[in-house]
Structure 1
Amino acid sequence: MADSTAPAEVADPGVRRVNELPDDRFRAELAQCLDIGRWVEALLSARPFADRAALVAAADAHARTITDDEADAALARHPRIGERAPGKDAEAAWSRSEQSGFADGEAAVREAFAAGQAAYERRFGRIYLVCASGLSGTELLDGLRARMGNDPAEEARVVADELRKIALLRIGKVLGTP
């Protein structure tokens, strides 16, 4: 739980709510943003946050050190692009919303993407992950094709950065984007 050094009046109601969450609820909510225990614990230790910028800066800084093993573990929580995230929780709803541009795309693009995604999985041994929010099916396909040229080490860095982008997007959702 947030300690007694929390600012008396945090203006942002989302930050105030996050600061006041019991530790177990904080862990559960932030794991929906990025399911890496070290990242969640670092943010828990950084509470209380004075404002949204402080929370986002801490989240960003700690997400920039994602290891390959952490990325692989976090990927287990992400559905493939084009697959409907199961469940009725916030994380599943976020995932469906983030991929909405793909779902509304042309059938030919979705088919080409599925084939490209299968090739990606054979090449890199993991699902293809991208922060899909706001991207069309064509943009997602172009990005997938471009990343197929990466070597495995570069692609691991790209995946970690995509996880970071998704985490920051979802932090805004946890806070209630103004």
Structure 2
Amino acid sequence: MPGQSRGAPGTRPPLEWFNDAPGPDAERALLSCLHSPRWARLVAGHRPYPDPASLLAAADEATYDLSPEEIAEALASEPLPSLPEDAYSAAHTALNAAHAAYEAKFGHVFVICLDGVPEHEVLDRVLEDIRSRLANDPHDEQAITRDQLRLLARERLNNALRGAGL
């Protein structure tokens, strides 16, 4: 999927590249979607995929198969959600405090999939969700975090299938 785009002459569609790539190359590409070696092996190991929907379904299923330790490994590589460039300094302070409280309670970075959230709503959504999720017990938050990782991986994989590369 790296460097492949649909419209460029002489290039193959990303799914075709992914299906035909050597195993290590396919796994490396998948690691840019979710940093879990086992997840990447599971998804790459079921190739070829007849269509993007089949690949996305396999990626979802592989996420559900990850152990708590593998989820923790993936979380360790996740960046914090970024703020819009024009966010004011008080917003940065509030978000940093919320992240610190979350990490102190749950022991890992806060993850949230913001796919489809308009840029002007990102800050409010992140602050609202992090504050809301701070009230969760660790077991419930673990399930929400796993689902957010799944959604993030799906969003990144979708972007790659649209030609954004991996």
Indicate the TM-score class for this superposition, using the shorter chain for normalisation: 0.7 to 0.9
Give 3-state SS (helix, strand or coil) of 2:114's partner.
Answer: coil
Q: Distance in 1 between matches of 2:62 and 2:89?
A: 38
1:54 maps to 54
Which residue identity lines up with residue 137 of structure 1 in the other structure? L
Alpha-carbon distance, 1:146 to partner = 0.2
Alpha-carbon distance, 1:177 to partner = 5.2
2:15 maps to 15
Q: Distance in 1 between matches of 2:86 and 2:148?
A: 22
**How many percent of aligned residue pairs carry the same amino acid?**
31
Alpha-carbon distance, 1:23 to partner = 1.1
Which residue identity lines up with residue 26 of structure 1 in the other structure? A
2:38 maps to 38
Q: Distance in 1 between matches of 2:108 and 2:93?
A: 19
2:142 maps to 156
Q: Distance in 1 between matches of 2:106 and 2:53?
A: 35
Larger RCO: 1 or 2 (CA < 8 Å, sep 6+): 2
Q: Distance in 1 between matches of 2:160 and 2:105?
A: 34
Pick closer, same or farther for the CA change 1:68–1:122 going to 2, 3 Å: same
Query: Normalised by the size of structure 1, how large is the TM-score?
Result: 0.76
Could you tell me which runs of 5 or more consecutive residues in structure 2 were left unpaired when the two chains were aligned.
Answer: 1-11
Cα contact 1:18–1:175 (8 A) shared by 2: no
Could you tell me which runs of 5 or more consecutive residues in structure 1 were left unpaired when the two chains were aligned.
Answer: 1-11, 82-98
Q: Distance in 2 between matches of 1:161 and 1:155?
A: 10
Residue 100 of structure 2: which of 118, 121, 124 is its match? 118
Q: What is the CA RMSD across the aligned residues, in angstroms?
A: 1.9
Cα contact 1:102–1:140 (8 A) shared by 2: no
1:144 maps to 130
Cα contact 2:76–2:108 (8 A) shared by 1: no
